[in-house]
Amino acid sequence: QVQLTESGGGLVQAGDSLRLSCAASGRTFSNYAMGWFRQAPGKEREFVAGISRSGVNTYYANSVKGRFTISRDNAKNTVYLQMNSLKPEDTAVYYCAANLVTLGYSDYYNAQRYDYWGQGTQVTVSS
């Protein structure tokens, strides 16, 4: 069992930055690949970014590539999402998720491959 707790969301203006954190407790954090997803009102949950167990490999949705950076600190059991140049369309509830088994890069993009989820943190970007 892994418990995930997101923090760092808030209300910002377009062009601003935010850093989301996801603290994990329970089983060995470094055993899990991690991902960030988001869900806007009336829309399906979508992949944002993913990171391998070691942190060497990262993956991004095209919509955030070049603006968002995912990272992790296994010593602190925490994964981060640095979000720069925020846009109103980034407004959503952001969730972190843990994936125990990643057979290929495509597993990072598939929400159904993740075993544990946090409760989410709201990010609102005003224009």
Q: Give the number of other Cβ atoms within 10 Å of residue 1's Cβ.
A: 7
Pair 69, 15: CB distance under 8 Å: no
- Residue type for position 45: R
Cα dist. 56→19, 50, 70, 89 in Å? 20, 11, 11, 28
Per-residue pLDDT of the chain (127 residues; tens, 9 = 90+): 899 999 999 999 999 999 999 999 987 899 999 999 999 999 999 999 999 999 999 999 999 999 999 999 999 999 999 999 999 999 999 999 999 888 788 899 999 999 999 999 999 999 9
* Cα–Cα distance for residue pair 58/67, rounded to 1 Å: 14
Query: CB–CB of 69/81 below 8 Å?
Result: yes
Separation between Cα atoms, residue 120 and residue 20, nearest integer Å: 10
Helix (H, G, I), strand (E, B) or coil at 58: strand
